[in-house]
Amino acid sequence: MSLYEPHADMTDTGTSRSIPDRLTSPLRRNLLGWESLLLIVGIAIFILNSFASPYFLSAWSLSDATFNFTEKAMIAFAMALLIVAGEIDLSVASIIALASTAMGAAATAGAGTPVLVLIGLGTGLLCGAFNGALVTRLGLPSIVVTIGTMSLFRGISYIVLGDGAYRGYPATFQWFGQGYVFWVISFEFALFAVLAVIFGILLHKTNFGRAVYAVGNNPTAALFSGIRVQRVKMTLFLLTGLMSGVAAICLTARLGSTRPSIALGMELEVVTMVVLGGVSILGGAGSIPGVVIAAFVLGLVTFGLGLLNVPGIVMSIFTGALLIGVIALPRLIAKWRK
């Protein structure tokens, strides 16, 4: 995303990436970090919610609230890595539509649950491979490629389905979206938690994760230090496609039907979640814990407003303002301090 650098990098001499004279202590760094700021916002929203509606503070309603963000967050984890590496995938919601359509067609033809899952994941991987090949082999900017595939993938769904819909998924399949593994812990939430840990380890504890940061910060330097830049990017596109496939399985199973308009506009919510989580849209910086907290914050906001009968479209004012506000605040504070 280095294409969208604001002019600020030219006028400000002290950017966040300059090397400090003295390292701040880990405690201080964590207390003043993005994640803690976000956590405070989240807690404030939680408290506000519990005052705003008497129905909020119950285990089941909190469990319901998690469905607001689990599917988006699954994609957001992979998207976070992709954005850290300096690319973006705007086609994720359309991949969901295409994967869901493929599963619907298979289910109508009488396929069982394991086959449906394989088809969902496979479609996701294929779409990711298509995006990745266009970006890494042809050297095209990912934002344009994925704006194109965003229309293309959903377009194929429209060609197949028109204004129709697929229904009639097997009951065992619907468990992925409606089942509970333990008490109020839904399958989706459990999967979300497991994926959060996996992606956290992948980005923060492995060589691959370090390569992702390196590619995002300086692809040329990364290449000369022996990182296969294009392969890293290709892997990330595949991963994003795969996670979109996973989300497609969960969402389709939860809704129990497929329409071509499924998950419409979700790509923007996913990007919002990632950016709110402190991932730099310019690449090179960000963390999975931040994305996890952002997922909770966004989920709580939409659920809390939903309990107050605020229409979805008005909620979008809050999420939009939250996105701009949370990013603007630290920048404005830094400006005033100077």
Partner 1 sequence: MNIRNIPREAILGLVIVALCGVIAARFPAFVRPSNLLSVATDTAPLIMLALGQFAVILTRCIDLSVAANLALTGMICALLNMAMPGFPMVLMLALALIVGAFLGAVNGALVWKVGIPPIVVTLGTMTVFRGIIFLLSGGSWVNAHEMSDSFTQFPRIPFLGVELLAWIAVIAVTGVYLLVTRTPLGRAFYAVGGNPHAAVYTGIDVGKTQVLAFVLSGALAGMTGYLWVARYAVAYVEIANGFELDVVAACVIGGVAIAGGAGSVGGVVLGALFLGVIKNALPVVNISPFWQLAISGAAIIIAVALNARSNRPKGRIILKKAEHTHEPV
Contact residues: partner 1, CB under 8 A: 1, 3-8, 10-12, 134, 136-141, 143-145, 147-156, 158-159, 161-163, 219-220, 222-223, 228-231, 234, 260, 268, 271-272, 275, 281-282, 311, 313-321, 323-324, 327-328, 331-332
Query: Which residue from 206, 200, 225, 222 is spatially nearest to 286, judged by alpha carbons?
Result: 200
Closer to partner 1 at the Cβ: 233 or 254? 233
Query: Residue 159: how many CB atoms within 10 A of its CB?
Result: 10
Whether the Cβ atoms of residue 336 and residue 330 lie closer than 8 Å to each other:
no
Min CB(183)–partner 1 separation in Å:
35
Closer to partner 1 at the Cβ: 43 or 321? 321
Min CB(327)–partner 1 separation in Å:
5
Tokens 């400090």 belong to 20
Closer to partner 1 at the Cβ: 127 or 191? 127
Amino acid at 126: L
Closer to partner 1 at the Cβ: 4 or 183? 4
Amino acid at 152: L
Min CB(98)–partner 1 separation in Å:
10
Closer to partner 1 at the Cβ: 21 or 163? 163
Whether the Cβ atoms of residue 69 and residue 266 lie closer than 8 Å to each other:
no
- Alpha-helical (H) ranges within 183-311 are 187-205, 207-217, 219-224, 229-255, 266-276, 288-307
Q: Is the dihedral of CA 301, 303, 304, 307 positive or negative?
A: positive
Distances (CA, A) of 334 to 12, 105, 281: 11, 53, 19
Cα distance between residue 93 and residue 219, in whole Å: 28
Closer to partner 1 at the Cβ: 3 or 32? 3
Closer to partner 1 at the Cβ: 95 or 195? 95
- DSSP secondary structure of 253-268: HHHS-B-TTTTTTHHH
Min CB(59)–partner 1 separation in Å:
31
Closer to partner 1 at the Cβ: 54 or 162? 162
Cα distance between residue 266 and residue 241, in whole Å: 14
Cα distance between residue 97 and residue 163, in whole Å: 13
Query: Which residue from 335, 292, 311, 307 is spatially nearest to 51, judged by alpha carbons?
Result: 307
Closer to partner 1 at the Cβ: 27 or 313? 313
SS3 169: coil
Min CB(161)–partner 1 separation in Å:
8
Min CB(173)–partner 1 separation in Å:
26
Min CB(279)–partner 1 separation in Å:
11
Min CB(168)–partner 1 separation in Å:
22
Min CB(247)–partner 1 separation in Å:
20
Cα distance between residue 235 and residue 215, in whole Å: 13
Whether the Cβ atoms of residue 233 and residue 215 lie closer than 8 Å to each other:
yes
